[in-house]
Amino acid sequence: MQSEGGEEARKPQRFRAGGVTVGVLGLVVVAVVLVVGTVDDRGDFPAWAYPCGLAVAVVIWAVMIRPALVLGEDEMELRNVFHSRWIPYAEVVEVRVAQVTIVHTEDGRYVGSGFGRSRTAIRRDGKHVAGTTDGRPRAEKVSAGQLVEDLLQRRVRAAQEQQTLAAGADVDGTPTASRVRRVWSWPVLVLLAVSVAATVVLALVG
């Protein structure tokens, strides 16, 4: 895990649930099937199999490889299958790493599917944290999910303290607009829509 000090604090930290290896293997299998079908001398590989293979590859990428929790300097990114949600640390009311990452702000509840921990890990981490004197986990006894949750909570507290100090006596009670934003993964959506449509059309005319 990277340090929070100096230059390292400005480098995004990316955490995933562990499906990348399976996703890469899936992409390799799809590529092998398409190549074998192309070079097969029998020539009975259907034309619709190519866009279908592309659709399967896009789904594998979107579900297994793309999702992640990315921690930036001032905000976190909940990278999900078809969209990303950017949430400034200063706007977080509560954050938990359960089976998924759950973030609460005053405007709502947001879920990140890219990083989490198993129920067994949650129970085990709870016992270790409860047994400490300061309520913070010890790295040698808890899961990576618990360590990331602790890191997130520290960044949230630090951002809120900085925001309070910066506001100072200028705070007038006027609510500010939320800086939480959502961005759709248009390349994934477009590729999936085009490949599925091409598969259907070629299957019907073939």
Contact 147, 97 (CB under 8 A): no
To which H or E segment does residue 41 belong?
A: none
- Please tell me the predicted confidence (pLDDT) of residue 1: 40
Average pLDDT (105-117) is 95
Confidence of residue 6 (pLDDT cuts 50, 70, 90): very low
- For the chain, the domain total comes to 1
Q: What is the three-class DSSP state of 111?
A: strand
Contacts of 110 (CB under 8 A, 6+ apart): 78, 85, 87, 102, 103, 104, 180
Contact 73, 62 (CB under 8 A): no
Confidence of residue 128 (pLDDT cuts 50, 70, 90): confident
Confidence of residue 132 (pLDDT cuts 50, 70, 90): low
- Please tell me the predicted confidence (pLDDT) of residue 42: 80
Q: What is the three-class DSSP state of 178?
A: coil
133 lies in which domain range? 6-171+180-205
- Please tell me the predicted confidence (pLDDT) of residue 19: 85
Q: What is the three-class DSSP state of 98?
A: coil
Residue ranges of the alpha helices (H) in 47-118? 49-60
Highest mean pLDDT among 70-84, 134-148, 170-184: 70-84
pLDDT, averaged across the chain? 87
Percent helix, strand, coil in the chain (nearest 5)? 50, 20, 30
Q: Which amino acid is at 110?
A: Y
In a domain? residue 76: yes
Average pLDDT (97-101) is 96
Contacts of 85 (CB under 8 A, 6+ apart): 77, 78, 110, 112, 180, 181, 182
Average pLDDT (99-113) is 96
In a domain? residue 71: yes
Q: Please give the DSSP secondary-structure letter assigned to residue 182.
A: E
* Torsional sign, CA 6, 8, 12, 15: negative
In a domain? residue 1: no
In a domain? residue 138: yes
